[in-house]
Structure 1
């Protein structure tokens, strides 16, 4: 039975590696032409400031399988992946980064596992080459925290590299929330999902766009999008602070009434004020994160705008 394939590649300032990536991907697709009805590669330029779009244009002219979307500005990787999913029309849709940390040679095995009756086959990293111990530790800690606090636990040590069935893509298209954390959305839709372990390579060229500041913001995005645990922590912190303050007040009264010990005002008062003030500010900060996300959702702005297209990509239609 004919089986079509689409490969979505979000790209942001990937001039140094994009052509080498396409050469490896093209070689893989050539071996799959005998088993599939056809393959399409959709490059999504997420508002790059270098020659990424010019390279995509050249690739589209040289390879009929290539299509391109150029977003009007940098909307972020989550929006770029969404744009690719909106434009994809295939039985199997692969998401992969252009930096060659995720090997394109793994795509045939992912598709084979999908055709066994699964809806999502996600690639789980057995090892992360080219990354510091600190980054590996923080990444592992994040996935384990999400596993604990989220109502829909995400698979550990798993990025965006995966293949999706047609109905999984259709389900994702219906999720139009503005605060997007795609790893959580992939898990949230359910269906049959299985893992495929692989060795992740070091980045071939160029610099990563994910510094610790952006990774921290992404972690906050993920936790607040799929869990109310921070609100519960703030609640329990407030109850704990009130309980400690009440017990300490009883202790002060007891010392004065029984032993006649004078109350040491200034140090005690300063410590209590600082502790309570810090707890209140932290609670307000947590509440503010959720209020800000609610505010962003109520505006219902489009997730992205497409400035230019190359190749045969279907126009975006609101589900």
Structure 2
């Protein structure tokens, strides 16, 4: 097979994927062996407690295209993506999950769109196999909520599975947000973007690393990063509170209702509004406070496979063998 000079970097965040990471590596290696482009696979171990990193290190000896970044602890999926694209050297960078629910077979279509002149090609899910009705529903509602309240255009029904041109990655690497919402940032930087449609597969091993608590945190990061609507809602809530107080005053004057029951109801309503408002404002303030500390986004304990001279020799051998 004739090999061209384009290098494609695939970034794969990893967290406790021991049961499936071996299969993932084998599938990806079989895939890239038959592609005309050159590839590097950058695994970012996000503080796994199992043997995920050990398996990747062992496979790296067999496949020099594999690279591994180990975090000193768990910093989160979005920061694992951020670290991976920072160290990617490809003409284009593809982000995908290590469980391969987003299939490699979609990648050639992404590359074709990239060759057609698009700078970002994101995967748009038609089907989400193996996920609960609740998760599908909440994900669908989240994307539509983000679309309605954010100040940027975030495509519906898309995750982090996407191809980005090197110039897009260069701009993303300039951003230093402590809690990045990567898919939102990709939309924010702009450039020419399009989609490819695909059916998301069911997990073949392991379990989802995004339980409800993490999904809520991701949604919160996305909303507070790209929308001031929650703060505006609090303005309307304050007007509502004033109206409640005014009505209560009138009721007291004319004594048409039981003042005790109405006062109790008003107290609960106003208390709930105040607590919600404090929580909303606190979330925004914390993001500002967190950024002001200027801590590094993540800490890398070890890096493996980033000897590019050695990898060039491997790629040359691969080209000759496929030629």
**Unmatched 5+ stretches in structure 2:** 309-323
SS of match in other structure, 2:178: coil
Which residue of structure 2 aligns with residue 73 of structure 1?
Answer: 73
The answer to whether the 8 A contact 2:79-2:179 is kept is no
Cα distance, 1:133 vs structure 2: 1.1
The answer to whether the 8 A contact 1:88-1:313 is kept is no
2:34 to 31, 36, 40: 31
Which residue of structure 2 aligns with residue 91 of structure 1?
Answer: 91
Divergent runs of 4+, >4 A: none
**Unmatched 5+ stretches in structure 1:** 315-319
Give the distance between the partners of 1:268 and 1:198, measured in 2 at CA: 54
Give the distance between the partners of 1:303 and 1:313, measured in 2 at CA: 24
Q: What are the equivalent positions in structure 2 for 1:138-149 lying under 5 Å apart? A: 138-149=138-149
Give the distance between the partners of 1:182 and 1:313, measured in 2 at CA: 27
Which residue of structure 2 aligns with residue 221 of structure 1?
Answer: 221
The answer to whether the 8 A contact 2:251-2:259 is kept is no
Which residue of structure 1 aligns with residue 291 of structure 2?
Answer: 297
Which residue of structure 1 aligns with residue 25 of structure 2?
Answer: 22
Q: What are the equivalent positions in structure 2 for 1:176-215 lying under 5 Å apart? A: 176-215=176-215
Cα distance, 1:129 vs structure 2: 0.4
* 1:135-158 Cα deviation digits (max 9, x unpaired): 111110000000000000210110
Which residue of structure 1 aligns with residue 282 of structure 2?
Answer: 288
Q: Give the TM-score normalised by the residue count of structure 2.
A: 0.91
Which residue of structure 2 aligns with residue 119 of structure 1?
Answer: 119
Give the distance between the partners of 1:19 and 1:8, measured in 2 at CA: 16
The answer to whether the 8 A contact 2:244-2:266 is kept is no
SS of match in other structure, 2:202: coil
The answer to whether the 8 A contact 2:130-2:202 is kept is yes
Give the distance between the partners of 1:179 and 1:144, measured in 2 at CA: 21
Q: Give the TM-score normalised by the residue count of structure 1.
A: 0.92
Cα distance, 1:113 vs structure 2: 1.0
Which residue of structure 1 aligns with residue 303 of structure 2?
Answer: 309
RMSD: 1.5
Cα distance, 1:6 vs structure 2: 0.7
SS of match in other structure, 1:216: helix
Distance 1:191-1:84 versus aligned 2 partners, 3 A rule: same
Give the distance between the partners of 2:67 and 2:262, measured in 1 at CA: 67
1:267 to 258, 261, 267: 261
Which residue of structure 1 aligns with residue 42 of structure 2?
Answer: 42
Give the distance between the partners of 1:122 and 1:313, measured in 2 at CA: 30
The answer to whether the 8 A contact 1:67-1:313 is kept is no
Give the distance between the partners of 1:71 and 1:174, measured in 2 at CA: 20
Which residue of structure 2 aligns with residue 158 of structure 1?
Answer: 158
SS of match in other structure, 1:176: coil
SS of match in other structure, 2:221: helix
Which residue of structure 2 aligns with residue 278 of structure 1?
Answer: 272
